[in-house]
Amino acid sequence: MSLEQINKASEVQAYSIFESCCCAPNWVNQMIKARPFNDAVSLLKVSQNIFLQLTEQDYLKAFTGHPQIGNLATLHKKYANTSSTASHEQSGMSSAEKEVLEEMVELNQIYLQKFGFIFIVCASGKSALQMLELIKSRIGNERLYELKIASDEQVKITTLRLEKLL
């Protein structure tokens, strides 16, 4: 997709385009309002600046657009608007051993119960074992600290998706 197509898209089309990168409505709406973008660098900079203004509720909404790491069964069905990018991002899990996947699923549930949101990590380029080690290292965090880490990971994911979009 070209920058020109993004700039000239109707609001409905632009909403769909940006939602495929991050499903937080406040982020999406601010990206739509910020158009037109002069270049890819300005698009990414605006995105970063919008993220700095988001609230906890915005991030929690963004997190709902992700499947749990390792939960490949629901990836295509439940997360249709981001399934193609998410499945590529989680490709390290697709070749994981059964035991690693089972442990990841178990830790995902513990994490969700503790923090009230799913484990978010920019999974691109990470192996299943690396992601397993990350969840293990983060599960002992305090909620506010973990929310900050997860929101930073969300920014990374969205930035990668915007770059791939262009």
Q: Which residues are identified as catalytic?
A: 66
Nearest partner of 21 among 32, 37, 8, 33, judged by Cα: 32
Q: How far apart are CA 151 and CA 97, in angstroms?
A: 29
Q: How far apart are CA 96 and CA 122, in angstroms?
A: 17
Q: How many CB atoms lie within 10 A of CB 43?
A: 22
Cβ-Cβ contacts under 8 Å for 121 (sequence gap 6 or more): 69, 131, 134, 135, 153
- Rg from Cα positions in the chain: 16
Q: How far apart are CA 11 and CA 87, in angstroms?
A: 27
